Amino acid sequence: MLFSPYELTFVFPVLAFAGYLELRLLASKSAISVVLTGAALTLCAVPEDPVRADQLEASSDDQTRALPILDAINQNTPGQSEGYAVGVPTTFAWCNGSYKPPGGNAPPSDFTAVTGWGQVYPKVGSPARSNPNGNILVANAKTYVHVRTNREWILVQDQATDDVAGAHFVADFARAAGIEMRMKALPDGSVALGIPTTGLNTHFWLTKRGTYAAGSVDGVYVQMDIRKDDPNVKLVANVGADWWRNSTVEFVSSFANNPGAGMSNWIELSTQWSTLRFYSGSSSQLRANPPPPLVDAAPEANPTIRRHADTPAPCLAGP
């Protein structure tokens, strides 16, 4: 059986130096946890090298078309979310979407593992509508790490060979246990997940942690394709990653074993596939040394179309 029920728990410490809340979800059977990093009154800095207006093709109704590497930068530039998530507290640093914790993009020097993840919420400003038979489809999830010595990107997680786990959680993660979620592996290698109702989210991750040599890595890149099959349900999603001390270590309440690498902006889902992307470094580093999915990417037959959020940001932190 590909998927089994998971009993998940988490704790909320407030770190005084930045006032930010870190949350970890523990999947006890697979020893996997997911990190969401939020903060009260924490300002998110704009990357030093965001996408310039002359690199994007503007169109009517506030849309933007971009090549994959420029879309990746846009998805990780604060203030570029396409919508916002219902139920995320306005003081969380990731309420606006893109967030990278202070202190750099590399894992602690003695860490040797990483996990990529995604999350989906109802969209702020949309009718409170769900579909118990509707699906969120996830495909081609991959996690790469950047090796500091030779500047190569190494694929360490791949949905083609790794299982996906997850559950519904209360939107602000105030309740310890996840709610069992409908999940089904599909013949094409994608996975179908249940659509969250208002007050809940859909949280998922690759179960087998990606590994690397201690001290060898200074960045992570996560990419996956996501869509919905019900055009009438309004949803937003983002992706991110957690660093892990090693491939088997268990969660501890101090979170010393699994600090978060960050997450991307909120992207509004449609019935067409959308590629969501997160990177832990700066946009200038990404331009200078992009991961394989972004290297010399040819113009797409149907270029990515991004729309700016159609509602004001409800968040107190960041842009």
| Alpha-helical regions (H) of 139-293 | 283-288
Number of neighbours of residue 203 by Cβ within 10 angstroms:
24
> Residue 51's pLDDT band (boundaries 50, 70, 90)?
very low
β-sheet bridge partners, residue 93: none
CA nearest neighbour of 178 among 202, 148, 208, 210: 202
Predicted confidence band of residue 64 (pLDDT cuts 50, 70, 90): low
Per-residue pLDDT for 165 more than 90? yes
Backbone torsion region of residue 97, taken as left when φ is above 0, otherwise alpha when ψ lies between -120 and 50, otherwise beta? left
Given a cut of 60, whether residue 95 has pLDDT beyond it is yes
CA–CA distance, 267 with 81 (Å, rounded to integer): 6
| More confident: 34 or 248 | 248
Tokens of 136: 């969120």
Beta bridge partners of 48: none
Q: Which has more pLDDT, 216 or 313?
A: 216
